[in-house]
Chain A
Amino acid sequence: EDQVTQSPEALRLQEGESSSLNCSYTVSGLRGLFWYRQDPGKGPEFLFTLYSAGEEKEKERLKATLTKKESFLHITAPKPEDSATYLCAVQARADYGQNFVFGPGTRLSVLP
């Protein structure tokens, strides 16, 4: 069964204090790993897709990396507007149902 875990569950940072969020996954043949951001009262918003180990993607203060077992979302010099829940999801290569299996998320708070 495909599974996704994320750590930490919650993270509180001071503005400018860089850190990383972890997503560990078990999947029968990874087709893609996805990062989403979710603000309170809203639906998840797409950030990145990673397809193979060693791949990296960047967007503003965020950088996502991928290994064969986990992905990291690095946040450099975060600002209060980066506060949100960050969700990781995987899609299995053999999953013809195309299900995106989501992790529980990391709730990030960036204090000014």
Chain B
Amino acid sequence: DARVTQTPRHKVTEMGQEVTMRCQPILGHNTVFWYRQTMMQGLELLAYFRNRAPLDDSGMPKDRFSAEMPDATLATLKIQPSEPRDSAVYFCASGLGITGFSEKLFFGSGTQLSVL
């Protein structure tokens, strides 16, 4: 079965360290989303790509977060420097947008990030 692959599954780091999360979207999907999930805020959109171009990163703290798609098979989310408030589960999702909208999203299993 095709699925979205995220690495690492768990990451524990100290405040101030750089964190890189990776995502391999489903082959053929042209939209990639990064979401953050916490108990307090639920699922929040951080960034969105269409055909590898960043279209919306308004939900991302620009001073410390960055998202890129070096190629169609890899999306990355970096946090530098990391802070304890960044502790959350980070999900990558991909979809196929034909009419301009993604009909549905396929989520990875997430990266559980703990910043001490």
Contacts and interface: CB of A to CB of B under 8 A. Distances in A.
B43 A99 contact: no
Contact of A97 (B55, B107, B108): B55
Given A44-B107, A46-B104, A98-B101, A104 B48 contact: no
Given A42-B109, A44-B107, A99 B56 contact: yes
B66 interface: no
**Best-surrounded residue of B4, B43, B48, B106 (most CB of chain A within 10 A):** B43
Contacts, number: 58
Which bracket fits the contact residues of A? 20 to 34
Contacts of B102: 98, 100
Contact of A91 (B35, B50, B55, B101): B101
Interface residues of B, number: 26
Nearest to B110: A43
A105 interface: yes
Contact of A43 (B50, B93, B103): B93
Interface in B26-62: 31, 33, 35, 42-43, 45, 48, 50, 55-56, 58
B55 A104 contact: no
A34 B105 CA distance: 10
A21 interface: no
A49 interface: yes
Contacts of B91: 43-44
A47 B71 CA distance: 29
25 contacts: A34-B104, A34-B105, A42-B109, A43-B4, A43-B91, A43-B107, A43-B110, A44-B43, A44-B105, A46-B104, A46-B105, A46-B106, A91-B101, A96-B55, A96-B100, A97-B56, A98-B31, A98-B48, A98-B55, A98-B56, A98-B101, A99-B48, A100-B105, A102-B35, A103-B42
